[in-house]
Each structure stands twice: as structure tokens, then as C-alpha cells.
Structure 1
């Protein structure tokens, strides 16, 4: 079968029929178009001529290709998104009996992301595992920051009490990736959990040592909490909730991104929410949102 613009357009219509998000349809068509351009440059005019080694060579090409928008090479997320678009094309060709495209490339990054994505029910179980003790109240606040606000591991640890603007329903992330600042909205439930932690549990923790501390999340010694201590609490919640998946601080961030896209939020809005510098980093969640919902 010859590579044509008509094929790309019909592939896009097929994705729309299956219910893929508009952003996924757009990026998939763009990635497939880039792949076809690569084939033409290598004198491959028909899909029957595409072999397993052709796909491997294209994957290697992507890994070595320079980023057109910024310095450096293409991000791993962008490459994963590209290869997954080709996998969708392969499925489209098979189901419409137009040919076969063997994609043997396994994207480890995508697989690890998908394994760590929690369902909304599993998130509810984590919240349900939080008791009414000082640690339990702090656990709910931790879930609020890492799931409800989608912060990165280091961003949450670096938060100070002054960064939580309860009156404005905002969290000020001062130390984001690449030294970028941003404001993240607080939902009503997350706001209530943070209020309860700050004015009840956190004050009790501070009273143990009778000292002042600007850090939002405190250890029981009234010091800024460590990454290991946070991970230990998440692990305890996971066990109490009887969740078998690998659950960490970053998987909470992956999960909220996926759930927001499933709820209909635009890719650009999710990108801003997560503090991504470009849409490339957010695109990985578009197909995850579809696959997790199946």
C-alpha cells in the first residue's frame, strides 16, 4: 500500500471514531506524517517495504534527532508518544485490512507509567486508609499535594506554609523544575485537608519541640520531612488499602494527570497544571488516559 495523505486522514478519522481525545488524534497524525516523511527520504514508498529493522532504525533516528524547538535531543516522552502513534497506525491497518506494520519497539517508560497509574477507586482507598491521628491528618494533606495538586516530589518537600494561600485557593510552587514558578488551584476537599493539617496536626507537631518552622510538611521531630519519610507513609497507605500496584509520589502525579484528561480537561490546561515546559511532556498521558479507561 502506498503512503498517502489520504491514509493519514482516514487514520485520524478512525481514532476519532474510537473515542480518542482530539489532542491524541492530532499528535498521532503528526507523528505518522513524520514517519512517512522519514520513509520517503529513505526511498520507501510502500508500507509493504517497511520491515522490523526499518522501525528500529527510525527509533534510533528519533533518539539522535535534535529538538527543533529547544536545545538538546528529543525527550523520552516525545519518542514514546511517536512510537505509540505507529502502534495505533499498525492496529488501524490490520483492522481495516489495508496491510500490516510490525512494531516491535517496547517503550519502557510508557509501560512503567501505565503500571503506576491508579484508578479513581484506588485513590479513594488511599484516602480511606488515612485515620484521624496526627499522622493520618498529615497523610491526607500529603495526598492532597501530590495527587490533588499534582506536584513533583521535590516541589512538595520544598513547600512552606506561606506557599499555601487558603484564601485564594492556590498553592504557590516557588521551586519548580527549571526554577519555574507556578500557581496550582486547590479543590475544596484538598483545601479542607490542608486547613486541618496546618491548624491542627502541624501545630501539634510543632508543640513537641516548641520551635518555629516554615516547612509545610514536618517530621515528628518538627523538621522538614524527608523524601524517605514521605515514601514510607505512601507505602503504608498502599498496604492498608490493599493496592498491589507500585505506588509512589510520582505515580500520584501520573494518576491525577490521567484522570484530568479522562474528565475532559484540555491538554494545554493539564500541561500548565503540571508545570511542564512544553506539551511534549504532557502528551504521554493522552494515550494513557484512553488505555487506562478501557
Structure 2
């Protein structure tokens, strides 16, 4: 790598840090939940979502952070055309799985903290019942949306001439034959992401509203120690979910804003493409760190928190994130 190229130096350092954090952190989160599954023979709904979310983030890091890091350090010809298609397809699918599961997590937490008279109350039983059906539908949705981009992925072009309407990922290219395919593919991803972002933002706003109302009633909860413990666990879980949603909205908001801008130009500047990819990938590092420090089942494996009494653990298991 030519160290005189400032952009390449910063790119290499940024993606190297993301890789060093995201891969071990996501592996650890998956291990913690799988260990719990083996030990207790079950996982709570929120834990299943978080475990699958960490797996999605891990696949994203393997398919994007590592190639970007190697490319920034000067490695070339990482993939052939087939490798590019598979790598891009996996990244696009699990990127969609990441946003849809974050939305599902915020929705489920909103359902858990909603009062029994709320219109969301019936979903307390329905979401766990249809959880795997929902996850399968996410895979089908993002496979359908991104199959065209995967088919238009290439490792290189003849004479190294990059045609118009091409996304340059440095290690692979996504080239569309015309402006219609270029714009329609981008808008399909943009509006799908926007739907999930608006939904998770609405659910997070609802959670914050309930937490505000809860703060006014906290004195009455002190009369019951068990009620206080359960309420505290519920509040911690809700705050963790709101934190994840807020971070996701910021990171992927920047990603989608740049993506939308790129649809208005024939050739996307390499620097702009690098910034977009960085913000599309940073969540894979931040998400597991938040989970490690906020989820009792996970941070107990690192002994970040003292073991809770059995009764308290039973109360907390229903909603901790």
C-alpha cells in the first residue's frame, strides 16, 4: 500500500478497526446465547433475535470489512466473477436481515412494555409463535430485491474500463446496463430500508413514551421489591433497544443518504463510496458491543455483572436485551 495516499491509509485503518472489533464481538455474542441454549435448553424470543442479529452482523463483516481492509492494504484480485456475486449477494441479504431484525427487536420490546389494554398486547404471543416465519420472510424479501445486483457483479472489466452506472467497491464492481436498472435497483433498497427505519423509530418513540410514564410511577414500585426488580430489568432492556435503534438510524441513515445521492450521478466518487460502505458496516461493530454490555446473559460470560439471585433472574428473563 502506498502510504502517501492519505485516503487509502485512513480507509485501511478504519476497516481494520471495524474488523478487529466486529468479528470477535459477534462470535462471542453468538457463543453466549448458544451456551445458554445448551445449558437451559431454551432461549427467550429477544435472545433468539439478538443471536440471529449477531450472526447477520458477523456475515456482513466477513463479506465486506475483510475485503475492504485487504483492498486498502493493496491486495488485488481477491475474487473472480462468481466470488463477487456470492460475496455481494451475502452482504446485501444479511445487511437487510440486520435492519429487519433490529426493527423486529424494537417492535417486540415495545410489545413487551405496552400495557395489557394496548392494541399491541395481542402480539406478545404472536411474535414468538411466528418468529421463524418472520425471519424466513425477511430472507425471501431481501433475496428477491438483491438478486439482480448479484447477477450484475463482476471482478473486473476488459481494459480496466469502468462503464457508467457502476458501483466501484474496489474489490468488485456492480454494473447496471442502463440508468433504469441502476435507479430502480437503488430505489428498491432505499424504500425497503426506509420502511424498516420508520417502523423501528416509531416503536422506539413509543418505548420512550412508556419509559417517561414509568418514571412518574417509580415511587409506587418501591413498595414491592420483586416488582421493582422486574421493572428495572424492563427499563434496562428498553433503553438497550432504543440505543441500538438510534445507532442504526444514524449509521444506515448516512448510508442511505449517500446511496440516494449516488443514484443521481453517472459515476460515484471512490471516496464517497468508501464513506457509504464504512457507515453500512460500522453497525456490525457497535451492535455486539452494546449487547455485550447490556444483556445479562452475555455480559455474565465476561463477568461484567454480578450473578443475580435465582428469583431475580426469573423475573428478568422475559424482557432483557
- Please give the TM-score of this superposition, normalised by the length of structure 2: 0.24
Higher RCO (C-alpha 8 Å, min separation 6): 2
Which structure shows the bigger proportion of residues in helix conformation? 2
